[in-house]
Amino acid sequence: MTRRRNVDTGPVVHRTARIGLRLTRAQRQRCFGLLRSAGDVWACVLEINAWRRRRGDRPVASFYELCGLLSASGPGTFGELNTAGARSVLRRYSDAWFSAAARRKAGHSEVRYPRRRRTLMPVRWYHGTFALSGRQVRLPAARGCPPLLVRLDRTVPYPAGTVRSVTLVFDAGRLWLDVTAELPIASYRPGTARDQNRVAGVDLGIIHPYAAANPADGTALLVSGRAIRAEHRMHLADTKARRRGTARHAPGKGQKGSRRWRKMRRRARLIEARHHRRTRQALHEATTTLICWAVEQRIGTLTVGDPRDVLNKPAGRRHNLRLRQWQIGRTLQILQDKAALAGIQVHLVDERGTSSTCPNCHKRISKPRGRNMTCPHCTFAGHRDIAAAFTIATRTPGGAITPEALRCSGVVTHRRAGRHLPGAGPARRDPRRRPSRPSAPGSFGRRRPASPSVVGSRSLTLVNEDPQQRRDQPGGRSWTPH
């Protein structure tokens, strides 16, 4: 539901951060109590509508009608859950019901109305019902119960006063608080403002999640995602090995699993969740790197090659798996969110043929097998993904760049995503087989996600010579891996 806002406050976006909780045993139990009560609210609504359907009545789905039913049930029906918390569940039901109805009306008959009960249901409290000071959060409880005080495990990454709501959730075996803030779109000092006519092309990929190129001055950015891919591959190998090792303990049909089996399942779920957290963090870092680069270059428009058409074609067992792990929709979503906050426009364009077109003379050439593209028609030679990014930039709607004005030689900035992933050191053949050494004198200790402006290096190699393929330094790189 949209809230009425002042007209003069400028455009805003909503962003949510998931923050872990530091809880005592008693606080933990009260949190689960709230989530369970919310699950009861959900189950009640499902049940009421099931009765009504059997009687041939109209289902109750509008938020106001549901709130009426809630207040008719009287206080204390749902344990410690207060009215604001219970209403957030009703809002969730109402939204789900109406979106299902709209999609069914549009012809998607496979979409179903909410029907599944859940033991634990997320609870949201809106602005004014909770209190946030530092890492302390006071969550309201039903009348007669003391409010629930919880501690966050990190500070909220948004400025004070912007937080609009908090949501208590149980996900991946942990309790979290999702903190949603209303952030104004970035404003810049005069002279550093984005220029809508400064366009950069962005090529998405697996080995390089982002390759961006600014055709106006020929500068480019290359974000390496090899650490992310290694994480995916190692996770797959670990999962396979675990499955093979434990398959014989699996319970038969209709049998309850042994305690050992249940423990194993729990462990597998935790590992799975950790893998997802790691790759998501790395993807966010990679995107922040791209946006920081664009802000530095004062770019106002990013033209992104959308590869999703290509993805729907079957490409063989191995390549299909690679593409499935890529999470392209999520990558695009993160990119659009971060660009919106920075005040940068994003255009999605067809990327077909961009990796087999020379950015310099625009002739079609055979798709290079490696990372390098060399054009037989002109002198262009350079990194394949950056070349594709240059070509994508010319496809900007409205045609801000003419192919003649393209400059394909400038400084390439190299960055790495996922430096916090285990063992993502200079040689990352097998990240997990390295023994974790005690920190050497003068080292920073455990690897942590670093701020994107610090990680990586800037090479002075031009775009049209690949830094990894320098002839004068056999096997060497012109840039220093940290």
The verdict on 380 binding Zn ion (CB under 5 A) reads yes
| Rounded-to-10 torsion of CA 109, 112, 113, 119 | 180
The window from 103-111, 117-125, 173-181, 377-385 that contacts Zn ion (CB under 5 A) reads: 377-385
The verdict on 377 binding Zn ion (CB under 5 A) reads yes
The verdict on 421 binding Zn ion (CB under 5 A) reads no
| Residue 10, both tokens | 């400028």
Where are the extended beta strands (E) located within 246-322?
A: 299-306
The verdict on 367 binding Zn ion (CB under 5 A) reads no
Number of residues that bind Zn ion (CB under 5 A): 7
The window from 78-86, 106-114, 325-333, 351-359 that contacts Zn ion (CB under 5 A) reads: 351-359
The window from 84-92, 152-160, 353-361, 440-448 that contacts Zn ion (CB under 5 A) reads: 353-361
The verdict on 396 binding Zn ion (CB under 5 A) reads no
Q: State how far the Cα of 206 lies from the Cα of 431, in Å rounded to an integer.
A: 18
Q: How far is the CB of 357 from Zn ion (least distance, A)?
A: 9
The window from 86-94, 255-263, 330-338, 355-363 that contacts Zn ion (CB under 5 A) reads: 355-363
Q: How far is the CB of 381 from Zn ion (least distance, A)?
A: 9
Residue nearer to Zn ion on the CB measure, 360 or 461: 360
Q: How far is the CB of 379 from Zn ion (least distance, A)?
A: 8
SS3 call for 270:
helix
The verdict on 375 binding Zn ion (CB under 5 A) reads yes
The window from 303-311, 358-366, 411-419, 454-462 that contacts Zn ion (CB under 5 A) reads: 358-366
Q: State how far the Cα of 89 lies from the Cα of 124, in Å rounded to an integer.
A: 8
Residue nearer to Zn ion on the CB measure, 126 or 380: 380
Q: Are 274 and 266 in contact (CB under 8 A)?
A: no
Residue nearer to Zn ion on the CB measure, 346 or 381: 381
Residue nearer to Zn ion on the CB measure, 114 or 201: 201
Residue nearer to Zn ion on the CB measure, 325 or 356: 356
Q: How far is the CB of 101 from Zn ion (least distance, A)?
A: 54
The verdict on 360 binding Zn ion (CB under 5 A) reads yes
CA distances from 294 to 26, 275, 297, 303 (A): 48, 29, 5, 12
| Residue 5, both tokens | 């806002």
Residue nearer to Zn ion on the CB measure, 300 or 359: 359
The verdict on 78 binding Zn ion (CB under 5 A) reads no
Longest dimension (CA), the chain: 83
Q: State how far the Cα of 343 lies from the Cα of 185, in Å rounded to an integer.
A: 6
Residue nearer to Zn ion on the CB measure, 342 or 406: 406
Residue 133 CB partners (closer than 8 Å, separation 6+): none
The verdict on 391 binding Zn ion (CB under 5 A) reads no
Q: How far is the CB of 336 from Zn ion (least distance, A)?
A: 32
**Concatenated DSSP letters of 181-217:** EEEEPP---TTS--EEEEEEEEEE-SSSSEEEEETTT
Residue nearer to Zn ion on the CB measure, 391 or 413: 391
Q: State how far the Cα of 118 lies from the Cα of 36, in Å rounded to an integer.
A: 9
Contact residue for Zn ion among 378, 398, 405, 473 (CB under 5 A): 378
Residue nearer to Zn ion on the CB measure, 89 or 406: 406
CA dihedral for 214, 218, 219, 220, sign (positive or negative) = positive
Q: State how far the Cα of 7 lies from the Cα of 289, in Å rounded to an integer.
A: 33
Site for Zn ion in 253-272 (CB under 5 A): none
| Rounded-to-10 torsion of CA 47, 49, 51, 54 | -140
Residue nearer to Zn ion on the CB measure, 27 or 374: 374
Contact residue for Zn ion among 177, 216, 334, 358 (CB under 5 A): 358
CA dihedral for 389, 348, 336, 280, sign (positive or negative) = negative
CA distances from 331 to 209, 290, 334, 336 (A): 9, 12, 5, 9
Q: State how far the Cα of 184 lies from the Cα of 13, in Å rounded to an integer.
A: 6
The window from 61-69, 82-90, 215-223, 374-382 that contacts Zn ion (CB under 5 A) reads: 374-382
φ/ψ of residue 195, rounded to 5: -115, 115
Beta bridge partners of 16: 180
Contact residue for Zn ion among 361, 367, 405, 443 (CB under 5 A): 361
The residues that touch Zn ion, with contacts defined as CB under 5 A, are 358, 360-361, 375, 377-378, 380
